[in-house]
Copies of this chain bind each other. A is one copy, B any other.
Amino acid sequence: MALDDPTPHRRVGLEDVARMAGVSRSTASRALVDDPRISEPTRDAVKAAAVELRYVPNAAARGLRARRTRILGLLIPDLSDPFHGQIAASFEQEALAGGYRVIVGTGMQDATLERDVLRVFTEQAVDGIAVVSGVMTIDEARSHARPDRMIFVLPDQRLMGPDTGLAKPSLILTDDASGVEAIVDHLVETGRRDIAYVGSGGLVSSTVRREAVERALKKHGIAHRTDRYPSPDDGWLTPAPTAALIAADLPEALICYDDMLALALMDALRVLGVRVPDDVAVVGFDGIPFAEMSNPRLTTVVTPLTELGRLAASSLVDAIRSGQLPEAVVLPVELAIRESTRSRASQAAGGAAHD
């Protein structure tokens, strides 16, 4: 049995394969990659020997000489939330399909940690890097590694430096602004005018969304107080206290930074006796699976997460192969209207309980 194999024979190397096939290392190496210079019988013999010996090439040695590791680095804030987890999962799958391994580094929205991760990627000599969200600016990230061979996935437009326009290459964005606009339009159409935004402080993405809300409201001629529900300058909102603030000064509709926050707030509001959507309509952002299973189901802007990860990986791989910087892409988002924004009028018709 393999478990208590008495022969801890050292790892078999190309040397061993070559010897068994009766050829040199060079020939063995070439045979394994189907170099046309090697005759068929020889090639077969080598391959047979490789299988026989259960030969597994050493990636380090190969990468050293070939100057190409076939590893991608994925810098992402956190794997534990479904939003980023989904992106990471699809990125990893697509990368693997393209013949690349993935090293993940979680940056936890911390600039120092993110820099460390980039350094690790450099040490590992990754062939390409994808930066998802994060807090450092694109320009800083670019200064830490080869700017080509990097791609930035900004589902929420964080990172955007001051002068960073949509036209810059290597960016994969989602059209948050129009998502926000769709939300506001929907809320206004269903009769809400007292609309508030609530989101964590410190994150660029939250600021971006807040501003988009303000613009959209202005379009409808509605005023909006930015500081209605103050949030800490850095860090995440705690649902219960925030819900208390909201309950004390109840708007007609609440636009939340993301689905997680929306779901947490709906829960906290329920404890306070505030009904959704009867007392207040609630909207999220992201479109995570749980937004579809909440009670009431959450109206939200669905971001194509899988597409985002897949596209990031394939664009990056293309960039590596071609040597060209990947083009900028803005992915469309879609408003999913669900129970949490049902208007009083449609409640009778769109009740929850029937097929």
Judge whether B297 and A267 touch: CB under 8 Å. Answer: yes
Question: CA–CA, A93 to B96, complex, Å?
Answer: 23
Judge whether B58 and A125 touch: CB under 8 Å. Answer: yes
- Name the residue on B nearest A290 (C-beta): B290
Judge whether A270 and B295 touch: CB under 8 Å. Answer: yes
Count of identical protomers in the assembly: 2
Residues 77 to 113 of chain A near chain B (Cβ within 8 Å)? 78-82, 85-86, 88-90, 92-93, 96, 101-106
The interface size of chain A toward B, counting residues with CB under 8 Å, comes to 61
Judge whether A142 and B273 touch: CB under 8 Å. Answer: no
Contact residues in B for A263 (Cβ distance below 8 Å): 290, 293
- For residue A202, give the distance in angstroms from its CB to the closest CB of chain B: 21
Query: Does A46 sit at the interface, judged by CB under 8 A?
Result: no
Judge whether A3 and B142 touch: CB under 8 Å. Answer: yes
Which stretch of A18-26, A184-192, A347-355 is in the interface? Answer: A347-355
- Name the residue on B nearest A126 (C-beta): B59
Judge whether A92 and B120 touch: CB under 8 Å. Answer: no
- For residue A251, give the distance in angstroms from its CB to the closest CB of chain B: 19
User: Residues on A close to B: CB < 8 A?
Assistant: 2-3, 56-61, 63-64, 69, 71, 78-82, 85-86, 88-90, 92-93, 96, 101-106, 119-120, 122-125, 139, 142-143, 147, 263-264, 266-267, 270-273, 275, 290, 292-297, 352-355
- Leading 9 A-B pairs by shortest Cβ distance: A85-B85, A80-B89, A295-B295, A79-B89, A273-B353, A267-B293, A2-B143, A60-B60, A80-B86
